[in-house]
């Protein structure tokens, strides 16, 4: 379970950080991309020395607003005032040097072959800038790291650090450059609970020192544990503003989606323990071994959703890649509907109606130079072609229909996919794989970066697929997600299957106990 340290006295800190003057004053801000109005007449203040959470559905305009504040793109209209000074040049350098504001982006921008110290002090090297003394650099870095209570070796080459630690280096770098307002865009999307706790501790430390934090997250428990102030965007407009103590997660979600979301019924409540033992397994994995996993056996029957839980280094992702044929295995078999699936490869999997929605959409699937429609239809283009020519009308109708079914928010399907917000790109990836009408659907982190409303819609889609007999294998680091959508959960620890539990009787704690190797139970 994630534990969050209580963050202290915002009123005191506000006084310390300059009375009632806000750190950021946003007035009438707008930004259009052609016909798309990403932001419309947005006005609100971000109090100094506090943590403000910015909430909104996928495509609500959060990233657009953050990018403007970080100087990565200018607004089409309106103004931003930082500590009383209106911004007149929107570029990252000016924003940092003149207005002390910086962003920790989702895709980190460090120099991978340089050390922690070189990255943290890049551009602000002490002493002779051309020939900074290495010893001075190390000393300065150590001072900063100890001030931030980060246990990091300044001599470590950044490439060798995990993503979560690299993120901490980016934060430290911003502070070294004199940043007083730090923007974090979904910083915990890729972190384990323990890694997220480390980041929260650092955020608390920064706040205690008077840094203003503006933060986007789709995770309500996190927001309600951390934020002092909550601002909500919907369809590019600012729709709500509360002190955290004045609102509830339900109220915040209702403001985001524009309606009350009913309590989501979990699968265990909907379909208590359906007996599927008579049917041939749609997917049977026997003694499967490969990179970081060995001797894994389980079966998934038509209509069943089997979860896969485990720490990030448990071999979860490699197992999915091996089943799908994206990575070579070293032994064991995979069978689909009773027939052994030899020579696995992504192309053969598409033909066998085995679909795989990857977790890292940018690196593993998004065709970044192509449109939304082409991204969705890329696997079914042959079925919609005649004599090698794409039947454009039929293709566009089919991809539009699939985009609509998953509520992918896009002006038209001809937009470049990179114009879509992160969560909508994820939905487009799911739409692509549903287009092959799979009999087995393998999913890795299916709702990473997806908002709460869309999450419920994706779950409903998965339940409908299960009703239609699709077997699903769903790996996720989000344990409440696995407890909501699966029938059973396979738990991996250090590459081994340590148990398969019935979801109805499982809890987050029981799964974590298995996943951390505290207890091993028979599969
Ligand atoms: N470069 C661009 N060209 C065209 N449209 C864009 C561009 N960037 C963003 N948009 C559109 O602006 C709207 C707001 O997108 P934005 O990325 O700000 O949403 P978001 O709230 O951050 O969503 P998410 O939670 O999914 O990350 C979306 O409709 C998106 O498609």
Domains of the chain: 1-100+222-260 (3.40.50.300), 267-515 (3.40.50.300)
Stated as kind and residue range, the H or E segment containing 349 is: helix 346-351
Contact 319, 326 (CB under 8 A): no
Question: If you take atom 9 of ligand 1, which residue's CA is the nearest one?
Answer: 419
Least confident range of 107-116, 159-168, 308-317, 388-397: 388-397
Tell me the mean pLDDT in the region 110-119. Answer: 90
Question: If you take atom 24 of ligand 1, which residue's CA is the nearest one?
Answer: 58
Query: What's the CA-to-centroid distance between 131 and ligand 1, angstroms?
Result: 42
Strands (E), 83-197: 85-86, 101-104, 181-185
Question: If you take atom 16 of ligand 1, which residue's CA is the nearest one?
Answer: 61
Identify which of 59, 70, 411 to mutate to test ligand 1's pocket (most ligand atoms within 8 A of the CB): 59
Stated as kind and residue range, the H or E segment containing 402 is: helix 392-405
* Nearest Cα residue to 179 out of 209, 147, 157, 158: 209
Query: What's the CA-to-centroid distance between 422 and ligand 1, angstroms?
Result: 8
Q: Is 421 in the pocket of ligand 1 (CB under 6 A)?
A: yes
Q: Is the pLDDT of residue 16 over 70?
A: no
CA distances, 19 to each of 14, 86, 180 (Å): 6, 18, 15
pLDDT, one tens digit per residue, over 358-368 is 887 666 677 88
pLDDT-derived band at 135 (thresholds 50, 70, 90) equals confident
Query: What's the CA-to-centroid distance between 424 and ligand 1, angstroms?
Result: 9
Question: If you take atom 25 of ligand 1, which residue's CA is the nearest one?
Answer: 58
pLDDT, one tens digit per residue, over 267-281 is 766 665 566 777 899
Q: Is 423 in the pocket of ligand 1 (CB under 6 A)?
A: yes
pLDDT at 5: 30
Neighbours of 264 (CB within 10 A): 13
pLDDT at 34: 82
Q: Is the pLDDT of residue 12 over 60?
A: no
Query: What's the CA-to-centroid distance between 290 and ligand 1, angstroms?
Result: 39
pLDDT-derived band at 263 (thresholds 50, 70, 90) equals low
pLDDT, one tens digit per residue, over 50-75 is 999 999 988 899 999 999 999 999 99
Question: Which pTM was predicted?
Answer: 0.76
pLDDT-derived band at 509 (thresholds 50, 70, 90) equals confident
Identify which of 233, 362, 421 to mutate to test ligand 1's pocket (most ligand atoms within 8 A of the CB): 421
Identify which of 35, 58, 64 to mutate to test ligand 1's pocket (most ligand atoms within 8 A of the CB): 64
Give φ, ψ of 21 to 5 degrees.
-65, 125
Question: If you take atom 29 of ligand 1, which residue's CA is the nearest one?
Answer: 59
CA distances, 236 to each of 43, 83, 156 (Å): 11, 24, 42
Query: What's the CA-to-centroid distance between 329 and ligand 1, angstroms?
Result: 39
Q: Is 466 in the pocket of ligand 1 (CB under 6 A)?
A: no
Q: Between these two residues, 379 and 307, which has the higher pLDDT value?
A: 307
CA distances, 458 to each of 282, 445, 481 (Å): 22, 12, 11
Q: Is 447 in the pocket of ligand 1 (CB under 6 A)?
A: no
pLDDT, one tens digit per residue, over 201-213 is 999 999 999 999 9
Q: Is the pLDDT of residue 9 over 50?
A: no
Q: Is the pLDDT of residue 176 over 60?
A: yes
pLDDT at 52: 97
pLDDT-derived band at 411 (thresholds 50, 70, 90) equals confident
pLDDT at 7: 32
pLDDT-derived band at 226 (thresholds 50, 70, 90) equals very high
Question: If you take atom 10 of ligand 1, which residue's CA is the nearest one?
Answer: 419
Question: If you take atom 17 of ligand 1, which residue's CA is the nearest one?
Answer: 421
pLDDT at 219: 86
Q: Is 10 in the pocket of ligand 1 (CB under 6 A)?
A: no
pLDDT, one tens digit per residue, over 19-50 is 578 999 999 999 998 878 899 999 999 999 99
Q: Is 36 in the pocket of ligand 1 (CB under 6 A)?
A: yes
Mean pLDDT for all residues in the chain: 86
Q: Is 422 in the pocket of ligand 1 (CB under 6 A)?
A: yes
d(CA 17, CA 52): 15
Q: Is the pLDDT of residue 289 over 90?
A: yes
Question: If you take atom 12 of ligand 1, which residue's CA is the nearest one?
Answer: 38
CA distances, 223 to each of 200, 448, 520 (Å): 11, 16, 34
pLDDT, one tens digit per residue, over 424-468 is 888 899 999 998 999 999 999 998 878 887 888 889 889 989 999
Q: Is 59 in the pocket of ligand 1 (CB under 6 A)?
A: yes
Query: What's the CA-to-centroid distance between 14 and ligand 1, angstroms?
Result: 32
pLDDT at 379: 84
Q: Between these two residues, 137 and 223, which has the higher pLDDT value?
A: 223
pLDDT, one tens digit per residue, over 379-406 is 877 776 666 776 778 778 888 898 888 8
pLDDT at 225: 93
pLDDT at 410: 86
d(CA 2, CA 224): 13
Share of the chain above pLDDT 90, in %: 51
CB crowding 216-251: b at 16 or more within 10 Å, else e? bbbbbebbbbbbbbbbbbbbbbbbbbbebeebeeee
Least confident range of 167-176, 297-306, 453-462: 453-462
Q: Is 38 in the pocket of ligand 1 (CB under 6 A)?
A: yes
Q: Is 30 in the pocket of ligand 1 (CB under 6 A)?
A: no
Query: What's the CA-to-centroid distance between 277 and ligand 1, angstroms?
Result: 45
Q: Is 64 in the pocket of ligand 1 (CB under 6 A)?
A: yes
Q: Is 361 in the pocket of ligand 1 (CB under 6 A)?
A: no
């Amino acid at each position: 379970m994630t534990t969050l340290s209580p963050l202290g006295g915002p009123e005191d800190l506000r006084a310390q950080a300059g009375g009632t003057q806000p750190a950021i004053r946003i007035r009438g801000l707008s930004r259009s991309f052609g016909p798309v109005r990403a932001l419309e007449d947005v006005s609100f203040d971000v109090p100094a020395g506090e943590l403000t959470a910015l909430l909104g559905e996928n495509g609500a305009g959060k990233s657009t607003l953050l990018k403007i504040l970080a100087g990565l793109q200018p607004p089409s209209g309106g103004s931003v005032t930082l500590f009383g000074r209106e911004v007149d040049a929107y570029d990252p350098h000016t924003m940092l040097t003149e207005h002390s504001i910086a962003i920790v982006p989702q895709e980190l921008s460090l120099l991978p072959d340089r050390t922690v110290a070189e990255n943290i002090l890049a551009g602000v090297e002490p002493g002779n800038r051309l020939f900074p003394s290495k010893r001075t650099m190390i000393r300065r870095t150590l001072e900063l790291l100890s001030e931030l209570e980060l246990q990091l070796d300044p001599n470590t080459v950044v490439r060798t650090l995990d993503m979560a630690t690299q993120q901490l280096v980016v934060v430290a770098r911003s502070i070294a450059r004199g940043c007083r307002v730090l923007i974090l865009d979904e910083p915990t999307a890729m972190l384990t609970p323990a890694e997220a706790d480390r980041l929260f501790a650092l955020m608390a430390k920064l706040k205690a020192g008077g840094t203003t934090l503006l933060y986007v997250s789709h995770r309500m428990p996190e927001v309600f544990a951390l934020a002092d102030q909550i601002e909500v965007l919907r369809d590019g407009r600012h729709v709500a503003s509360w002190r955290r103590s004045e609102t509830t997660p339900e109220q915040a979600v209702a403001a985001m989606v524009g309606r009350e979301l009913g309590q989501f019924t979990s699968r265990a409540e909907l379909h208590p323990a359906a007996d599927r033992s008579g049917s041939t397994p749609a997917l049977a994995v026997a003694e499967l071994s490969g990179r970081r996993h060995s001797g894994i056996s389980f079966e998934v029957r038509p209509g069943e959703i089997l979860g896969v839980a485990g720490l990030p280094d448990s071999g979860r992702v490699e197992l999915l890649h091996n089943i799908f044929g994206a990575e070579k295995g070293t032994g064991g078999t995979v069978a689909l509907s009773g027939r052994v699936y030899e020579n696995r490869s992504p192309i053969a999997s598409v033909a066998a109606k085995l679909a795989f929605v990857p977790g890292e959409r940018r690196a593993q699937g998004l065709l970044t130079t192509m449109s939304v429609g082409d991204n969705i239809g890329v696997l079914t283009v042959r079925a919609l072609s005649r004599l090698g020519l794409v039947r454009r009308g039929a293709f566009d109708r089919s991809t539009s229909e699939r985009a609509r079914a998953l509520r992918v928010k896009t002006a038209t399907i001809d937009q470049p996919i990179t114009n879509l917000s992160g969560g909508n790109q994820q939905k487009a990836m799911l739409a692509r794989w549903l287009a092959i009408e799979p009999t087995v659907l393998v999913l890795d982190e299916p709702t990473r970066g997806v908002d709460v409303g869309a999450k419920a819609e994706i779950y409903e889609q998965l339940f409908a697929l299960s009703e239609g007999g699709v077997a699903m294998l769903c790996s996720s680091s989000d344990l409440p997600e696995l407890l909501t959508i699966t029938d059973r959960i396979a738990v991996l620890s250090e590459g081994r299957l340590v148990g398969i539990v019935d979801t109805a009787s499982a809890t987050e704690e029981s799964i974590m106990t298995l996943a951390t190797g505290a207890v091993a139970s028979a599969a």
